[in-house]
Structure 1
Amino acid sequence: MGLANTETRMSFRRGWIALFLFCLSMINYMDRIALSIAAKPIAQEFHLTSIGMGYLFSSFVWTYTLFLLPMGFLTDRFGTKKMAGLGIAVWSAATALTGAASSFAGLMLARLVMGAGESSSNPVGAKVIRQWIPASERGVVNAMFNSGSYAGPAICSVMLGSLVALFGWRISFVVAGAIGFVWLAAWLLFFNTPERVRWLSTDEREKILRERDAKPAGIDHQATESGGLLALMRSPTIWGLAITQGCNVYTQYLFLTWLPSYLQTTRHITIAHTGVLAAVPYAASVVLCIIVGRLSDRYLKTSGVGTGRRRNAVALAMITGATILAVPFISDLPWLLLVFSITLAGIASTTSLNFALLNDLLPNSRDIAKAMAFLVVGGNVFGMIAPIATGYVIHATGSYNWAFGIAGLLLLVGAIVVLTMTRSPMTRDQKRSQAEVAA
């Protein structure tokens, strides 16, 4: 009873870390969607077809994916404070300089540099959560971190849509880039590991250090020793998580890059109004994603996070996201926005739950940044294909219908993969573990 009362009175200053991560992800995705909001005037100014825009939309993912694994190793080696600061400084500067581009090559170069900088965010976020957050709270904090990637487009769609309509597309990139430097100043001033920060109470520090590592069920000490990325890659589980992420991220990038153009082209909505309408499903997904994350923590409260049962919630979220298959059959705008909201809530929840599942099934915290980098690489291999494939589909068919159909089918495939390939924890030698996790 005394312990319960103590924990009830305990401060929740680690909530500031969740806010930091939410804002990091939000700014990351604000900068990504800035190009989508300004796509129509940019295409007109540089005489780009849908195929050309598809390659431009996809370009930042190329360097983002290329640098993910190095960023994972660097984050494990040099720590989250340095790597997050370096990453956001690079990508914010590149975003701001996009507004100065005078050619298609200049736009491509800025996007490539931006992608390289943004590759730091997910390895950093995963490691910060492992350092700071008790295992029983990882679902909701991962949801907050991931929901920033939907809050960013929601805010950016409204704010930058108005800026583009009033002042032209170039100023929108300068504003988006400047926001990142505000976050950087706060990060350098306040952040460190829980062992080092002075603003954390003794009780809360002890709780974090005591509860942040939950060993997967049935795994002995030797199996949890760090074996590096190659050892992790021998595990079917990490491949299952990466494929699941890819099937999900395909739809995320379809929305991120082509949703504003879809609304402008097929629904004949102005740029300013496009921003407001595109913000609706993104805003709804933020709230729903956090609720789902909290429910997943409650779902695992009795059985424990180490059982891997969070995979069931991942599969359910992906099936929910497959609602996108209904888009070609809807003509009324309110119903269309409802379907978009449900789809985005499903894919947002899938990402946060999949990130949490990675932490649940990874015994050694020293491997978390590189493991997260591998998972996000898998996601972004699909992600870099989505904008280009969509451009070709639109060019070939004159319609977005097949683009939505492909996305929905991939979500159903992902649900099957996560249920069948993530049934054991990731160890140095997964075959040694006889702890098959209950469904």
Structure 2
Amino acid sequence: MGACLNTPSLPTPRPSTHHNQNNGEYMSYRRGWIAVFLFTLAMINYMDRIALSIAAKPIAEEFHLTSVGMGYLFSSFIWSYALFLIPVGLLIDKFGIKRVGGIGIFIWSLATALTGAASSFASLLTARLVMGAGESVSNPVGAKVIREWIPSTERGTITAIFNSGSYAGPAICSVVLATLVAMFGWRMSFVIAGCIGFVWLAAWFFFYEKPEKVKWLSANEREHIVQTRTSNGASSAATMTYGLKKLLKTPTIWGLAIAQGCNVYTQYLFLTWLPSYLQEVRHLTIAKSGLLTAIPYAAAVILCIVIGKLSDQYLKNGSGAASEKRRNVIAMTMIVASCILLIPFTDDIALLVLIFSLTLAGIASTTSLNFSLLNDLLPSSGDVGRAMAFVVVGGNIFGMLAPVVTGYVISATGSYNLAFGIAGALLVTGAVVILAMTRKPMIPVEQRAIDVLAPRSA
């Protein structure tokens, strides 16, 4: 539908123009609307995820659930999410972003709304599983959109904007849904959260298409996008599609997946258990815990975008490969996030909020930079959906463990301290993995041999 839409008056986000050094003319920046789409997609995704955490206390009381039971319920949507990621990545590469992405957000929005009608633990669990299956489109869609629309030198910033939506969602949701739960009960909060997704879906089908097809993009900007969306220095293999089986033979994709897992563990620990921690250990009300949850997430949104922008500037300036620089920044952000280890040693709420903010900013930046590094090191755009799906699966294998492990830790020790310690240790491990295992592009060994011999054969 977006391919035949003619919207010459569509407003342009600021900055409205960029200088085109090739022809000396000024060029529009309407691709900024893609950043808006990606940001709001991730924001809605994570609003729906954290809705259960905000309403955890009344749900646990109504269904008589222990900390272990809540841990499994928190984790449940990740089971189906991880299960469907690779099939969805393959479907996106085959059938395109628009169709598969639209179906996915329809399913997860409907499931979120229907969560409010759950009458038993089984129906609540089913709704979360269906929601997770639908949400599996989000990251593969985001990666593919960025690869098709965004010049390589802007990729860190746009990926950071996309990923920061994952933190804007909980920031907004923590305040708004906490208020709705307090005023109207937990069921209505799910209905409202689900309905927001349908609004986004309408805009998606109306406006989105590839840059080669949309009519609301200027010819100048379209040419710039197409010419610069592949990283400088790409080899002749840049148009070759390898497939997941061959990509799995490279250590780089495994390093990205493991590092993503070490990072995502903390993300899901916070996403599922942070409100309960504030209510149970710090003795805050639902409304106050919602506010104190929102502040670190809001800080993470700003810091993630700033770090993404700085990383792009770092890549543009000085010598050295872009992927090498990006890898170093990722290690630094994971070390910053490991300050979660300090949580058991402070009783001051203001200091606690600062630690939460730094941790969330670190893991937010790590995720966006990790996805950018994947695009840097992946020669073919035809492999983006499946490669992203595999890396996200790696992350979510760790992610699905976080709520359950935390539930058992709380049950066994009566404290959250060990849970924070496990998360911090994984973040340090992830920093080591990203430095050690992501040093080469994702080109199978046999293809590298062909590329080396090709000039001699010529």
Task: Provide the rounded CA distance (Å) in 1 between the counterparts of 2:320 and 2:424.
Answer: 31
Alignment length (residue pairs): 432
Task: Provide the rounded CA distance (Å) in 2 between the counterparts of 1:230 and 1:323.
Answer: 37
| Partner SS for 2:21 | helix
| Partner SS for 1:256 | helix
1:128 corresponds in structure 2 to 145
Q: 2:93 corresponds to which letter in structure 1? A: D
Q: 1:69-98 CA distances to partner (integer Å, 9 max, x unpaired)?
A: 000000001111111110100000000000
Matched, 1:232 2:247: yes
Call closer, same or farther: CA 1:115–1:239 in 2, change over 3 Å: same
Within-5 A mapping of 1:257-276: 257-276=272-291
2:353 corresponds in structure 1 to 337
From 41, 46, 58, give the equivalent of 2:75: 58
1:386 corresponds in structure 2 to 402
Give 1:428 deviation, angstroms. Answer: 3.0
Task: Provide the rounded CA distance (Å) in 2 between the counterparts of 1:99 and 1:227.
Answer: 44
Q: 2:361 corresponds to which letter in structure 1? A: A
Give 1:272 deviation, angstroms. Answer: 1.1
2:220 corresponds in structure 1 to 203
RMSD across aligned C-alpha pairs, in angstroms?
1.6
Call closer, same or farther: CA 1:305–1:166 in 2, change over 3 Å: farther
Matched, 1:377 2:379: no
From 160, 166, 171, give the equivalent of 1:143: 160
From 31, 37, 40, give the equivalent of 1:14: 31
From 96, 116, 122, give the equivalent of 2:113: 96
TM-score norm. by structure 2 comes to 0.92
Give 1:306 deviation, angstroms. Answer: 4.9
| Partner SS for 2:241 | coil
Within-5 A mapping of 1:171-320: 171-214=188-231, 217=233, 220-222=235-237, 225-302=240-317, 303=319, 306-320=322-336
Task: Provide the rounded CA distance (Å) in 2 between the counterparts of 1:172 and 1:3.
Answer: 47
Residues 308 and 360 of structure 1 are in contact (CA less than 8 Å); yes or no, is this contact kept in structure 2? no
Instruction: Provide runs of 4+ in structure 1 moved above 6 Å.
Output: none
Give 1:155 deviation, angstroms. Answer: 0.2
Q: 1:249-272 CA distances to partner (integer Å, 9 max, x unpaired)?
A: 000000000000000000111111
Task: Provide the rounded CA distance (Å) in 1 between the counterparts of 2:21 and 2:393.
Answer: 42
1:87 corresponds in structure 2 to 104
Residues 241 and 382 of structure 2 are in contact (CA less than 8 Å); yes or no, is this contact kept in structure 1? yes
Matched, 1:77 2:94: yes
Matched, 1:105 2:149: no
Residues 101 and 107 of structure 1 are in contact (CA less than 8 Å); yes or no, is this contact kept in structure 2? yes
Residues 159 and 369 of structure 2 are in contact (CA less than 8 Å); yes or no, is this contact kept in structure 1? yes
Task: Provide the rounded CA distance (Å) in 2 between the counterparts of 1:242 and 1:307.
Answer: 16
From 38, 48, 68, give the equivalent of 2:65: 48
From 362, 365, 369, give the equivalent of 1:349: 365
Task: Provide the rounded CA distance (Å) in 2 between the counterparts of 1:212 and 1:268.
Answer: 50
Q: 1:379-399 CA distances to partner (integer Å, 9 max, x unpaired)?
A: 000000000000000000000
Give unmatched runs, 5+ long, in structure 2.
1-18, 453-458
| Partner SS for 2:65 | coil
From 343, 358, 361, give the equivalent of 1:327: 343
Task: Provide the rounded CA distance (Å) in 2 between the counterparts of 1:3 and 1:192.
Answer: 23
Q: 1:20-66 CA distances to partner (integer Å, 9 max, x unpaired)?
A: 00000000000000000000000000000000000000000000000
Decide which moves more: 354-363 or 426-435: 426-435
Task: Provide the rounded CA distance (Å) in 1 between the counterparts of 2:22 and 2:262.
Answer: 44
Residues 68 and 373 of structure 1 are in contact (CA less than 8 Å); yes or no, is this contact kept in structure 2? yes
Residues 248 and 347 of structure 1 are in contact (CA less than 8 Å); yes or no, is this contact kept in structure 2? yes
Decide which moves more: 330-339 or 423-432: 423-432
Give unmatched runs, 5+ long, in structure 1.
none
Call closer, same or farther: CA 1:394–1:430 in 2, change over 3 Å: farther
Call closer, same or farther: CA 1:261–1:231 in 2, change over 3 Å: same
